[in-house]
Amino acid sequence: MTTRLLFVCLGNICRSPSAENIMNYLLEQRRLQSQITCDSAGTSSYHIGSPPDGRMRAAAQKRGIRLIGSARQFTAADFDQFDLVLAMDNSNYRNILALDPAGKYAHKVKRMCDYCQEYPDREVPDPYYGGADGFDYVIDLLMDACSGLLQELEV
């Protein structure tokens, strides 16, 4: 059985596509692509159809990771399509749960930083309005969280 992961941030051009592509990179290294599939989405419609942010792509490229994909908006239908929905911050978490007023899918929604092993962060910060350091930090943070998540899924 394939485990289906959906990474969610606000606009789906920085954090969530980075998490998706980092996880795919880790899956490829471990030859687990047939067991776990990844996608990403945003809670807003700001950037639908856009590729990952160029600054984010540059930060990922420094680590040998290529960011691909195009932004889409999270919908209630995603609850049925995915086994785990991973929110980048508390605002995303609340916005996702708001689309499930009955709480039927709440068990599938988790915070990305819950899987961090080294970083103490509780949220993945949005680097969009900051400098290059913020994008580098988010890549490092997501590498940590994705590694932790993968470790938990492999058990």
Per-residue model confidence as pLDDT tens digits over 75-94: 999 999 999 999 999 999 99
Please tell me the total number of residues recorded for the chain in this structure: 155
Q: Against a cut of 0.95, is the pTM above it?
A: yes
The question of whether 89 is a catalytic residue gets the answer: no
- Beta-strand relationship, 3-9 and 84-87: parallel
- Choosing from 39, 126, 136, 144, the catalytic residue is 126
- C-beta of residue 11 within 8 angstroms of C-beta of residue 95: no
The question of whether 146 is a catalytic residue gets the answer: no
The question of whether 80 is a catalytic residue gets the answer: no
Tens digits of per-residue pLDDT, 7-50? 999 999 999 999 999 999 999 999 999 999 999 999 999 999 99
- Choosing from 14, 15, 39, 136, the catalytic residue is 15
